[in-house]
Structure 1
C-alpha cells in the first residue's frame, strides 16, 4: 500500500502538468487562428471569426516597436474576448477617428508589455481595414475601475490602453493602469 502513494502523487503531478501544458498549447493555437482571421479580415474587408464558435473577431493590431510588443485586439471587452486578447471597449472611437479609442486586456498576458512602455514611445494601431494610425504615449495614471475619467467623446484623437494594477498582483483589485496616447499628426 505504501508503494502506491508515490505512484499516486506522480499521476497527480503528471495530470496537473498536462493540464497546464494544454492551456498554453490552446493559447498558442488561438493566436495562430487570430493572426489568420485578422489577415483575412484586412484582405476581404469583412469581419472573420477565428473559429466558428467565437463570439468575437480581430479588429486591430497594436504594436510598440521599441519593445517589440504586439497584440491583436478583439471586438468587445467581454470576459470571453479578453481571454484571447485585448478588447476594444464598446462605444469608444475607432483608432484614427475623433474621440478616444479604448482597449483593455489582462496585465499578466496580452498587456503585460504595458509596464515597459515609456512616455514618448510610439504605438501603431492597424485597423481591420488595413489603415494604420500612430500614437505617442504621453501620460499614465492609476485609477479606480469605476472612476477612470475617460471621456470617449472627447474632441481629440486619443488612444487608451488599460489593464489591472498593480502589475505583479496575484488577485484582481479595483485599480487600473491607464496609458494615454495622442495621435501623431501626419508628417510629425
Structure 2
C-alpha cells in the first residue's frame, strides 16, 4: 500500500467520523430544542392568557387568548407566599393543559358549593405545588370578578385511576392536581392532589 492510498483512506475515515459527529450534534440540538419547546410554549401562553383574562375582567365576556383558541381563561390562581400566579382555562382537555392549568369538568365551578378541581403539568404550571405547605393561602379570582381565598389543609398521592372528583361537599373546596413524583421524566400512574378549603 503506497503512501497516497494510506492518505486517502485516512481522509475517508476522518470524513466519516466528522459526518457521524455532526449527525450526533444535530440530534442532540434537536432533543434540547424539543425539551425547551413545552416550557417555552407554557411561558408565552401564560402572557397571552393573562392579557385575555384582564380583557375578560373588563368586559365580563370570556375572551380568547388567540384567535384560533378553543378555550378561554376562567380564573387566576395565586400562591402569595411563593409569588406565583397562573391563569386557569375553562377547558379540561389535555391539549389545553399544554398552555395552562385547566378547570376539570365534573367538579364545582369557582364560587359554588362543592370542590373545584384544577389540573396542570408538574414540570411547568404546577411545578410550584411541591413548595406549598399546610396553612398556605391560595387566592382565586374569576373572570366575573369573584374573589376567594383558600387555605391548604393537606395533600395526597393517588393513582390516576383511583382519583375521583369529590362528592358535593358542604362549603367550597379547591383541589390542585398534577403528576407525581415532581422530578420524574416519564409519565406514571401517580397524581399529587393538594387539598384546600375556603377561608
What TM-score do you get using the length of structure 2 for normalisation?
Answer: 0.83
- Size of the aligned set, in residue pairs, is 184
Shift of 1:52: 1.4
**Is 1:52 paired with 2:70?**
no
Q: Which sections of structure 1, spanning at least 5 residues, go unmatched?
A: none
Kept in 2: contact 1:101–1:152 (CA 8 A): no
Residues 35-184 of structure 1 aligned to structure 2 (within 5 Å): 35-148=50-163, 150-184=165-199
Q: CA deviation at 1:97?
A: 1.6
Aligned counterparts of 1:113 and 1:41: Cα–Cα separation in 2: 26
Question: Which of 1 and 2 has greater Rg?
Answer: 2
1:99–1:153: 8 Å Cα contact kept in structure 2? yes
Alpha-carbon spacing, 1:168–1:26, altered in 2? closer, same or farther (3 Å): closer
Which residue does the alignment assign to 2:8?
A: none
The two structures have a TM-score, normalised by structure 1, of 0.87
RMSD over equivalenced CA pairs, Å: 2.0
CA distance in structure 2 between the partners assigned to 1:78 and 1:173 by the alignment = 18
Question: Structure 2 unaligned runs (5+)?
Answer: 1-14
| Separation in 1, partners of 2:167, 2:68 | 30
For residues 167 and 20 of structure 1, the distance between their equivalents in structure 2, rounded to whole angstroms, comes to 16
Q: Please, which moves more after superposition, 7-16 or 82-91?
A: 7-16
CA contact (8 A) 2:45 2:100 kept: no
List 4+ stretches of structure 1 deviating above 6 A: none
Q: Structure 1 CA distance, aligned partners of 2:192 and 2:182?
A: 8
Partner SS for 1:163: strand
Contact residue 73 and residue 88 of structure 2 kept, 8 A: yes
Distance 1:168 1:18 in 2: 20
The alpha-carbon deviation at position 17 of structure 1 amounts to 4.3
Given the superposition, is the C-alpha separation of residues 75 and 114 from structure 1 closer, same or farther in structure 2, using an over 3 Å criterion? Answer: same
1:95: how far off? 2.0
